[in-house]
Amino acid sequence: MKAIVNVALKKGVLDDQGKATHHALDTLGFKEVVADVRIGKQIILELNCDSKDSAREEAVKMCEKLLANTVIEDYEIEILG
Amino acid sequence: MNVTVLQFPGTNCEYDTQYAFEKLGANVTIVWHKETNLPENTDLLVIPGGFSYGDYLRSGAIARFASIMESVTQYANNGGYVLGICNGFQILLEAGLLPGAMKRNDTLHFISKYSNLKIINNNNQFLKELKNDDVVNIPVAHHDGNYFIDSEGLSQLENNGQILLKYCDSEGNIESLNGSVSQIAGISNKEKNVFGLMPHPERAIETLLGCDDGVKMLQGFFNK
C-alpha cells in the first residue's frame, strides 16, 4: 500500500521560498493568474499494511514523530490502494 | 571542567569546539552518536555545528533520534548545562529541548560572515561574563537559521528572559540577518540550563584569526 505525504509550512508561517517563486512567476508574465505559491515536500511511503485505515494510522504517527515539524508545518496524507 | 562534545555523521565543528574549550582549560571528550551514555563527569555538553545527516528532511530532524539523545534529554532534564551551536541549536529545537523551529533563511541564501550580536540577557551561566547591551562579533554560517516561534511562544520567551542574543549592527541597533522572529540569534530554556545559538563562538577565539569575542561567551561556563 502506498501513502503520499505532503508537508508544507502552516498558513500564517511566512513561506519565503513560496514568496520568491511567486515573485519569479510574476516577472515571467503569470502575475494575473497566480494568486499564491506555497512550497512543500512530498514523501512517498510504501507500507506493509492490510487496510487503508491502518496505513493512515501509521502514516499519521510517522508524521507526528518525524516527517513533519508540527511547530511550523502541516501535513496531508493520501492513501493509495 | 569536563566538556563533552557530541559527534554525528556530518558534524564538522567538533574539533574547533574541542580546540576552543581546551584553550580555555577544559578537558574535552568527543562522543559518537551511537553511544548511549555521556561521560559521568560531564560539566557541560556541547552539540556542535555541521550538517548532521546531510540536513536531510529538516536540519537536526534525524540526529535528534540518535542513540545518545536519550541521555542528552535526561542530562538536560536533570539540570545539566547543554550548549547547541548552529546545527546543535537545530537539533535541540527538533528534540523539543528548546522551543520554536528553524526555517530556511528569508534571503534563501547560505549566510557565511561575521555578524554582530547584542547581549539581551546575561543573567545566565552562558553569558554572565558579558553585560546586557554589549555587542560581540561572531561568525555565522547557516542556511536554516530563520528562527520561528508563534506570538504566544515569543511572549513567553520575553517574559522569562529566554532571549539571549539578537542580530544587530556594530552600534548595537537590532537588525535582521536571516528573517528570524524578533531578530533572535540565541535563546535558552526556561530553566536557563539549555542554550542554543546560530553563531559560532568557537570560531572566534584567536585574534590572529580575526576576533576572540567568542572567548567571553564560552568562558561563562568555567566560573560557577
Report yes or no: B163 and B190 within 8 Å, Cβ to Cβ. Answer: no
User: Does residue A80 register a pLDDT over 70?
Assistant: yes
Q: Is the dihedral of CA B53, B55, B59, B62 positive or negative?
A: negative
- What is the DSSP secondary structure assignment for residue A10, as one 8-state letter? P
Q: Is the dihedral of CA B53, B99, B154, B202 positive or negative?
A: negative
Backbone dihedral angles phi then psi of residue A53, each to the nearest 5 degrees: -60, -45
Chain B residues contacting A via beta carbons under 8 Å: 57-58, 61-62, 65, 93-94, 100-101, 103-108, 146, 148-149, 179
pLDDT at B224: 67
Report yes or no: B62 and B54 within 8 Å, Cβ to Cβ. Answer: no
Q: Given pLDDT bands bounded at 50, 70 and 90, which one contains residue A81?
A: confident
Per-residue model confidence as pLDDT tens digits over A36-48: 999 999 999 999 9
Per-residue model confidence as pLDDT tens digits over B140-191: 999 999 999 999 999 999 999 999 999 999 999 999 999 999 999 999 999 9
- What is the DSSP secondary structure assignment for residue B202, as one 8-state letter? G
A9 contacts B101? CB cut-off 8 A: no
Please name the member of B94, B108, B149 whose beta carbon is closest to the beta carbon of A16: B108
Q: Which domains does chain B show, CATH number per domain?
A: 2-221 (3.40.50.880)
Q: Which of B144, B148, B178 to mutate to test the interface with A (most CBs of A within 10 A)?
A: B148
Question: How far is CA B152 from each of CA A35, A53, B166, rounded to the nearest angstrom?
Answer: 29, 35, 19
Q: Report the percent of chain B where pLDDT is more than 90.
A: 98
Which value does ipTM take for this structure?
0.89
Q: What gap in Å lies between CA B197 and CA B142, rounded to an integer?
A: 11
Check: pTM over 0.90? Answer yes or no: yes
Q: Which domains does chain A show, CATH number per domain?
A: 2-80 (3.30.1280.10)
Question: How far is CA B216 from each of CA B22, B134, B197, B223, rounded to the nearest angstrom?
Answer: 15, 11, 15, 12
Biggest CA–CA distance in chain B, Å, is: 45
Catalytic residue (choose from B13, B14, B33, B86): B86
Rg (CA), chain B: 16
* Residue of B178, B180, B170, B177 lying closest to B118 (CA atoms): B170
